[in-house]
Amino acid sequence: MELQAVLMAAGGGSRMTDLTYNTPKAMLPVGNKPLMWYPLNLLERMGFEEVIVITTKEVQKMMSTDPKMKLDVKMKLDVVCIQEDGDMGTADALRHIQQKIKTDILVVSCDLITDVALHEVVDLFRAHNATLAMLMSKAHEFTETVPGQKGKKKTAEQRDFVGVDQSGKRLLFMANEADLEDGLSIRKSIMRKHPRMHIKTGLVDAHLYCLKKAVVDFLADNKSISSIRGELVPYLVRKQFSKTTNCPKIKDDAEDQNQKKNDGSTNHELLISSRDEPLLQLAQDRSCWNDHRGDMSEAYHGGKLRCYVHIMDEGPCYRVNTLAAYIEANRLAPKLFEEVPVHPSAVISERCQMGSDSYIGAMCQIADKTSIKRSTIGNSTTVKEKVKVANSIIMHGVTIEEGCNIQGSVICSNAVIGRGADLKYCLVGNGQQIEPEAERTNEVIVGADQLMEI
Amino acid sequence: TDVIIESSVGYFTEGPERKDDIVKAKQEGKELTKEEKQRLRKEKKQQKKSKEKKDDKPSRDSEKEKKPASAASPAPQTPTQPPAQKAPSAAPAPVPVPASETPSAADKPAKSKAELKAERRARQEAERASKGKKGDVGPQAAPGKPKAPPSELQPVVKRLPEHVQVDNPEVLKKLAKKLERQQIPLRSDYGYKVSLFSHLHQYSRKAPLTQQLGIPSTVIHPAIVRLGLQYSQGIVAGSNARSVALLHAFKQVIRDYTTPPNEELSRDLVNRLKPYISFLNQCRPLSASMGNAIKYIKKEISNIPSQCKEEEAKRKLLNCIDCYINEKIVLAAKAIAKYSIEKISDGDVILVYGCSSLVNHILCEAFEKNRKFRVIVVDSRPRLEGREALRRLVQKGINCTYVLISAVSYILPEVSKVFLGAHALLANGYVMSRVGTSQIALVAKAFNVPVLVCCETYKFCERVQTDSFVSNELDDPDDLIVTRTGTTQLEHWQEVPSLGLLNLVYDVTPPDFVDLVITDLGMIPCTSVPVVLRVKNVDQ
């Protein structure tokens, strides 16, 4: 077997708590499908037959009852539950399932919506015998107004600085703005080996990683690393150029032995040698190929640890981890997957004006004289007469009474909007009730218990 | 009526001396004389005995028509005159008529049978004429000739390999079917092909074969997918490197292999390797050295005794592969280096072309043995492999000069020897190597500079080729698009209808330009290659 797929669906959606305090992020409806359906669909389309899903018990319960998950996902899902409130990072989760990992892995996050040709990433992983291959995409501007956001969107909260080489494939440098207090410093050894480096900041990390099995084993030994994106990836990128990688000779001195033991655990993944390492080396020696020109070193500068990145220029690639991204995804995801606009079981009266880019879920009831434009309406939602819904996202089980006017808003599941309410750019939390004739603009309406304590 | 059938059989038993009588008799539709009938009856009984052992073909004409198309047999179209509507079988002599048919046919009146025969003959004549088979004398003569089994009469026609028949749609269809059976995607050709080379494949590097494969590749072993990618992207390039990488991948395949129940390792493993080889061929056409390595592996696998346990068989195979690499590549390189060092004297100026792993190895060894020489590295676009050779030599400390191939006639007066590497050595003494080698050999000959080709014996190939057109490899034409500080003049070459970009990979050098071939068996002249091949075959 070549690659095992691992889907990380235990994330809490910490950047959009208004949406996720009641619904786990993995099951948030996007285009009337649960969010985790999208990466699973991507894996299924690529040809995967089994996926290990790391998630919480709540999500597992919801998965088993959700019709979309049951019907559409043909792969075998091996669900591993972890504690919800434990501080398990993604790397911790990998450590947890180390026993199940038999070969190289492809880690995907549940909030990734994309139609990338996965072979681009995996080919980098295969062809260069890389330790890490990841996917990134040019960030798209979010054009929709986000409810509840006061003022301009705060700029670049935490930029990522990504350094790639001339070909744009080899990952040389990766750091988050938060870690660079004094400024961006690049080691001279890297500059000597790769004199031309392109540093990009406008990239979105798709959180899709191909990792060698040895990395998982390394994680098992190094319990200090808890997040793939935050710690493991920068560590691997740094380790490409560390001195020890280029001197794999093990001396027999006693003191060196001790030192090697200390380093041994950290250098574990560096000893990724197949059984026929001398043959591979012979093949590389005899091959007249080099990945760089201009200096005297051999291909890959003799380094055994290599990290590659595939940067998508065009095509959708969204990580639904903020409200803005969620709204954008709702707008675009159904188009991507050619969703049927109206679910067959929805009951829609004839005098309803429905725009062509609206999506109605199962078992909805849309009454007369309603107008639904550019919106997504979830399952089992009731929309009474004379309601105008525009640019909004209505989740499941919502009741909208007569005469409401909802614009640019996000109404979470099981909310009730009283009659005559006028909501513009609001976010109505789960199970909330909006009193009739209410007029709200640009507000986040959540229950008192969900308000964050500062 | 019985008699008549026998007589018809007899037409084919008779030799040419009776032919005319019988022919006349048949054409006139007359009945044969009594003696003839008796003779024929006797012979018919003989053939029936031999016929029992063979099967008849069910259809007549269709089979006969088809056969000449495929095999150049001289007398395939023996139309059987017997009323029994059976085609002549592959019997060595005359067409036997099954006895079972005779009663039914015997019921027909004699006269109409003769008429039928005449009609049939006329029809077959017409068919034959339309096919333009001048070689056949006619249906009457055919019986005269013994109907030998197809294998005997057919000359040994070597089928053209698929990869040089790309412009033949039938061949392509067959290939597509074969790949479909093996569950391997078909790689489609790219771009306009120069008409002289339209019979070869031309692929684009931007459309890798993995696009059409599922991501965790289950049909093809992951090591092979990796290898195919490395071939198509040029990460593993060079005849020796490709063979070593191939054998390395095969080692992994063998390690991960388990014999399915009720199967034998010796047969099943070979069948398992076939789709992998097709896949690799689709990624990049196999080199001669790879072909020889594959033949060796297949032979070793089929020679595994059936009572051998799987673990031991696998261990043996892995050992064989290691030995092969060690003997044919590593030790051969050492031997060749030893021979070549004798040919390198102090003060030599050696010209090398491109990046040949063997030639680089030789030069590095010679330098370590303290020979004083300098090297001129000649390079050519689009691969510019000479840069890699230059790097390796300079890293050792050898004094190097670097020129492009357009300057070779300017630099040759300085040169004392030319060392060339080879991709394969053909059976007629031609050297197949990177495109440009024959140019260098030609110019060197003109300047009377000795040309020495270094080649291991496992690259010797039984093919015969006299020109570089028949069998070659076309690389991605987009490699020829040069970028100079942002301007790519040829970027839209596909839009110009009369423009074709040709990126050849190999060419053949005639043996008259090569003075010596240094192999691990010694230093031989180019024309001794078939001798080496013969000796090798005898050994095996």
For residue B391, the chain A residues in CB contact (below 8 A) are 290, 296
Look at residue A77 and give its three-state secondary structure: strand
Domain containing residue B528: CATH number: 3.40.50.10470
Q: Which two tokens stand for residue B77?
A: 């179209």
- Looking at 3.40.1190.20, 2.60.40.10, 3.90.550.10, 2.120.10.30, the CATH number of the domain A3-150+157-180+188-243+300-333 comes to 3.90.550.10
Higher pLDDT, B8 or A397: A397
Domain co-membership, B180 together with B307: yes
pLDDT tens digits along A208-240: 999 999 999 999 888 888 888 888 999 999 999
Q: Phi/psi class of residue A156: alpha, beta or left (left: φ > 0; alpha: ψ in -120 to 50)? A: left
Q: Which two tokens stand for residue B300?
A: 């070793």
Q: What is the ipTM of this complex?
A: 0.86
Domain co-membership, B313 together with B364: no
For residue A289, the chain B residues in CB contact (below 8 A) are 234-237, 388
CB-based contact, B519 to chain A, within 8 Å: no
pLDDT at site B452: 96
Measure Cα distances from B83 to B46, B79, B89, B422, B484 in Å.
19, 11, 15, 62, 79
Residue in A with minimal Cα distance to B218: A1
Domain co-membership, B512 together with B435: yes
Residue B519, in any domain of the structure: yes
Q: What is the mean pLDDT of residues A253-271?
A: 44
Residue B240, in any domain of the structure: yes
CB-based contact, B213 to chain A, within 8 Å: yes
Q: Choose one of B282, B299, B330: the last residue of a domain.
A: B330
CB-based contact, A296 to chain B, within 8 Å: yes
* In chain A, where the domains are located: 3-150+157-180+188-243+300-333, 341-445
Measure Cα distances from B282 to A138, B27, B175 in Å.
34, 57, 11
Domain containing residue B321: CATH number: 1.20.120
Q: Which of A288-292, B26-30, B451-455 has the highest mean pLDDT?
A: B451-455
Report pTM: 0.79
Q: Which two tokens stand for residue B437?
A: 């080698």
Q: Which among B183, B206, B215 is the top mutation candidate for probing chain A, defined by the most A β-carbons within 10 Å of its own β-carbon?
A: B215
- Asked if residue B195 has pLDDT above 80, the reply is yes
Look at residue B351 and give its three-state secondary structure: strand
- Nearest-Cα distance to chain B for A46, in Å, is 6
Tell me the sheet residues that pair with A309.
Answer: A134
Task: For residue A240, give the nearest of A162, A329, A132, A316 by alpha carbon.
Answer: A132
CA A48-A49-A54 angle, to 5 degrees, is 85
For residue A47, the chain B residues in CB contact (below 8 A) are 213-216, 218
Q: Please answer whether residues A313 and A331 qualify as being in contact, where contact means their C-beta atoms are separated by less than 8 angstroms.
A: no
Residue B530, in any domain of the structure: yes
Query: In Å, how far from its chain's centre is CA B368?
Result: 41
CB-based contact, B234 to chain A, within 8 Å: yes
Domain co-membership, B396 together with B534: yes
Q: Choose one of B273, B308, B330: the last residue of a domain.
A: B330
Q: Choose one of B330, B351, B375: the last residue of a domain.
A: B330
Q: Please answer whether residues A52 and A100 qualify as being in contact, where contact means their C-beta atoms are separated by less than 8 angstroms.
A: yes
Contact A123 B208 (CB under 8 A): yes
Task: For residue A77, give the nearest of A149, A12, A128, A5 by alpha carbon.
Answer: A5
Give dist(CA A82, CA A310) in Å, integer: 31
Give dist(CA B322, CA B80) in Å, integer: 58
Measure Cα distances from B540 to A234, B42, B247, B292, B300 in Å.
55, 50, 20, 13, 11
**B110: Cβ–Cβ under 8 A, 6 or more apart, which residues?**
B1, B4, B31
Q: Which of B83-87, B90-94, B364-368 has the highest mean pLDDT?
A: B364-368
Q: Which of A127-131, A177-181, B122-126 has the highest mean pLDDT?
A: A127-131
Q: Please state which of the ranges A36-40, A448-452, B266-270 shows the lowest mean pLDDT.
A: A448-452
Structural domain harbouring B241? 169-330
pLDDT band at A278 (very low <50, low <70, confident <90, very high): confident
Domain co-membership, B210 together with B237: yes
pLDDT tens digits along B375-408: 999 999 889 999 999 999 999 999 999 999 999 9
Alpha helices of A276-390 — where are they, by DSSP H? 277-286, 323-336
Domain co-membership, B347 together with B313: no
Domain co-membership, B297 together with B322: yes
Top CATH class of A341-445 equals mainly beta
Number of domains into which chain B is organized = 2
pLDDT tens digits along B412-458: 999 999 999 999 999 999 999 999 999 999 999 999 999 999 999 99
For residue A119, the chain B residues in CB contact (below 8 A) are 208, 210-211, 213, 215
pLDDT tens digits along A403-422: 888 888 888 888 888 888 88
- Cis status of the peptide bond prior to B382, with omega within 30 of 0: yes
For residue A4, the chain B residues in CB contact (below 8 A) are 216
Half-sphere exposure of B294 (CA within 13 A, CB side): 20
Residue B297, in any domain of the structure: yes
